[in-house]
Amino acid sequence: MDDDRPSDESSEAGFRSGFVALCGRPNVGKSTLLNALLGEELAVATQLPQTTRERMLGIWTTERFQAVLVDTPGIHRPKSALNKFMVDEALRGARGVDLVLMLAEVPRFAPGPAGEAAAADWEPGPGARDAVAQLAESGRRMVLVLTKCDLLTERDLLLPIISKWQAVHAFDGVVPVSALRQRGLEALRAEVEQALPAGPAYYAPDQLSDRSMRWHAAELIRAVLFERLGQELPYSSAVTISEFKELRERDRVEALIHVERGSQKGIVIGAKGRTIKAISMGARERISALTGRPCELFVEVRVTPRWTKDPKKLDDLGYRAGGAVSGEGSDD
C-alpha cells in the first residue's frame, strides 16, 4: 500500500504499523475474528456464507502497533456478477499488505476411534487449496489461522491437521483460534506484531473503521435481515441508506431494502408487517449499540429486478469495484 502517513516525529520508538488481510473461503469466521480483535460488532457475521460483500478496514490499535485489518469477502468460484465482484474484492484486498491471514475452519470429527480414523484420512478441501494458491501469488507473508477450534472434539487432532496444511503451503506461521471463546488471540496478536514494519499509526488510536456510520448502519440492517430471513431470501437483498441524520438527542436513519422480486418483498414485510417491524427493531438496537446513541430507524422495501446479475445496478447499490478502500485506486 502507498505510505501516505504524515511524518510523525512524536511516534513512539519501536511502534509498528501496517496492513493485514483476513482471507479465506466463505463462512470461515473472518468477520467474527475481526469483531473479536476489535471488541465491536463492525463486520457482519452470520451463519450464512458470503455475507461479507465489500472490503472494510478494521483499525486495531494497541500500545505497540496499529494493524489495519482488511476484511475481505470469501474466496470462492464466482457465478453471478455479484459473486465475481466479491472474489475480485478479496484478492485485491490481499495485494500490497504486510501480512495475509489465511483463515481455514478446523474439520469436525466424531469423538473416539472413528473420528481419529477420519482425521488420518482428512485433507484440506480443493476450495481452500485454491484460495491458498491464489493468495500465494501475492508473494506476501502468509499465516494460517485455524478457526473455530472450540469445535474440535479432541485437541490431539490439531497437530495432524496442521501438518496436512503445511504440506499444502509453507506458511510463515500457524495459529489455532476460537474467536467465539476468545482463545488464541494473544498468539495471533504476536504474529501480527512481528509482521508489521516499524512506523507511526495511520489512523487515530480511537478510530475503529474506515467506514462511515451510514455504511455500518446498512451493514447492520443487512445482518439482521440475513439472520431473520437467510434461508428464504438468500443473497438477493441489498440495503441502502437514504438518510442518516445526527440530531441532538438521537440519530434518524431511513433505509431501503432492495429485493429482486415482488414475492420477496412480501416475505420481508411479512404478515401484517410483522417481519419488517422485527427487522427494524433488531437493527435499531444494533446501530445504537455501535454508535452509543439512540436511533430512530425507518425501513422501506423496494423491488429492484435482477440487481445481483447486472453490474450497472450493483454499482448503483454501492458495490463498486476498488471503491471500498479510499486512496487505493493505484492498486487496480
Ligand X SMILES: Nc1nc2c(ncn2[C@@H]2O[C@H](COP(=O)(O)OP(=O)(O)OP(=O)(O)O)[C@@H](O)[C@H]2O)c(=O)[nH]1
Residues interacting with ligand X, by CB under 6 A?
Answer: 26-32, 45-47, 49-52, 73-74, 147-148, 150-151, 178-180
Q: Does the annotation list 73 as a binding residue?
A: yes
How many angstroms separate the first and last alpha carbons of the chain? 12
Q: Are 314 and 307 in contact (CB under 8 A)?
A: yes
141 marked as binding residue: no
**Closer residue to ligand X in complex, CB, 147/264:** 147
31 carries a ligand binding annotation: yes
139 is an annotated ligand-binding site residue:
no
- Minimum CB distance to ligand X smaller for 16 or for 222: 222
Q: Which C-beta is closer to ligand X: that of 51 or that of 66?
A: 51
How far apart are alpha carbons 150 and 159 in whole angstroms? 15
Is 153 assigned a ligand-binding role in the annotation?
Answer: no
Would you say 74 is a known binding-site residue? yes
CB of 37 to ligand X, least distance (A): 12
Can you list the pairs that 296-299 forms with residues at least 24 positions away whose Cβ atoms lie under 8 Å? 296/250, 296/251, 296/252, 296/253, 297/221, 297/253, 297/254, 297/255, 298/253, 298/254, 298/255, 299/221, 299/254, 299/255, 299/256, 299/257
Residue 77 CB contacts under 8 Å (≥ 6 apart), including other chains: 87, 127, 130
Residue 18 or 73 having the CB closest to ligand X:
73
State the nearest-atom distance from the C-beta of 151 to ligand X, in Å: 5
Q: Closest approach of Cβ 73 to ligand X, in Å?
A: 6
For the CB of residue 43, give the shortest distance to ligand X in the complex, in Å: 6
Question: Closest distance between ligand X and the C-beta of residue 35, in Å?
Answer: 8
Beta-ladder partners of 56: 71
Burial class (CB in 10 A: 0-12, 13-18, 19+), 34: buried
Cα 75 to chain centroid distance, Å, stands at 12
Known binding-site residues for GTP equal 24-31, 71-75, 147-150
Known binding-site residues equal 24-31, 71-75, 147-150
